[in-house]
Amino acid sequence: MNNTTNGVMKNGTENLCRILENAKLNPENAKRDDYISWEEYFMAVTIATSHRSKDPATQVGCVLVNEDNHVVGAGYNGFPNGISDDEYPWGKQSENPLETKYTYVVHAEMNAIMNATARQLKNCRLYTTRFPCNECAKLIIQARIGEIIYLDDKEEQWQSQAARKMFDTARIPTRKYQKTGRKIVIEL
């Protein structure tokens, strides 16, 4: 390269920098400042995902997010693939466990892990509308998920207590999502 080319490039870069600086001063070129945070976004996606559940009593959503803030998995509570949700029970109480949903439903966290597009979930963040149960905790720990952010917790249930104990032992941090009070209206 000759000096003329370098001079043109240097002057061109300086001009571009000057143009960009001047553009920043114009309020019409400013970005909006009321956008939602990543945390709000991922919990909103988690809540929206929960609305896919056909469970009449409990709708749970879960989203897996990698270190680049990409959603790599999503799931909600429902019956396994190929199991008709019209033929199996959605009830919660019966003398016969074969007549309740608990025998058949796949939890949101399990579905998110199984539906994940990434092979490695290590260090992903798991957003969920409900604190994971002990069975989901086992799968979360095995997948080496790095953090759990939850909306609601059933602390009095032994399943949540067992899950919390396992997460503590596995050194997987859990934290309750701090609501911001912001609202997102989606008209479908």
Q: Which residues are catalytic?
A: 109
Q: Which two tokens stand for residue 102?
A: 């608990």
Q: Which residue has the tokens 């996606």?
A: 45
Rounded Cα–Cα distance for residues 163 and 169 (Å): 10
Question: Following DSSP, what letter does each residue of 63-129 receive, concatenated?
Answer: EEE-TTS-EEEEEESBPPTT--TTTS---S--SSGGGSGGGTPBPHHHHHHHT-S-S--TT-EEEEE
- Which strand ranges, in their side-by-side order, compose the sheet holding 125-130? 71-76, 61-65, 125-130, 147-152, 174-176
